[in-house]
Amino acid sequence: MNIYERLKKDHETQRDLCAKLAETEEGSSERAELWDSLKEELEAHALAEEQVFYSNMMKKTDGTEHARHSVHEHQQMTEMINELDAMDQNADIWTKKFGKLSDRVIHHVDEEEADIFPVARDVIASETANEMTERFNERKKEAVSG
Ligand SMILES: [Fe+2]
Ligand SMILES: [Fe+2]
């Protein structure tokens, strides 16, 4: 599995968790559990993606701007996650704000797959892209347990 397939696998998980969470009742234990899973997945994915994938893309002339853009979006999502985390999940406003985060997540993963990966395929050697997968898995595991 190359890094693109590996990242897409996580993106599918994220789309799925967002869709499931949107169906939950305010204040339900299901919502609390799905939120914990989504939060952990988003944070660990973004961290490992930056450390392994964007750190490489950042160094390429045609990759720098795309890498910066994505890292900026990661920061915006982290802020939204932290705000949601501090709020009451029973509140209507939480549901509305979660809807905004969910839109951001979907926009972000769609953009990575449609716009960023094609550029990366041009600037990152395919051998390097294959080697990234194992490091990505390691970093992600560290982020989850750390
Ligand atoms: Fe990302
Ligand atoms: Fe991603």
Which pLDDT score, from 0 to 100, does residue 45 have?
Answer: 98
The domain limits of the chain are 3-145
pTM of structure: 0.96
| pLDDT means over runs of 10, the chain (146 residues) | 97 98 94 97 98 97 97 98 95 96 98 98 96 97 86
Distance between CA 83 and CA 77 in Å, rounded? 10
Domain 3-145, CATH number (from 3.20.20.70, 1.20.120.520, 1.10.10.60, 1.10.579.10)? 1.20.120.520
Question: For residue 146, what pLDDT is reported?
Answer: 66
- Which backbone phi and psi does 60 adopt, to 5 degrees? -90, 135
What's the pLDDT at 40? 97
Q: What is the pLDDT of residue 41?
A: 98
CA 125 – ligand 2 centroid, Å? 19
- Can you give the pLDDT at residue 42? 98
Tell me the CA–centroid distance for residue 46 and ligand 1, in Å.
5
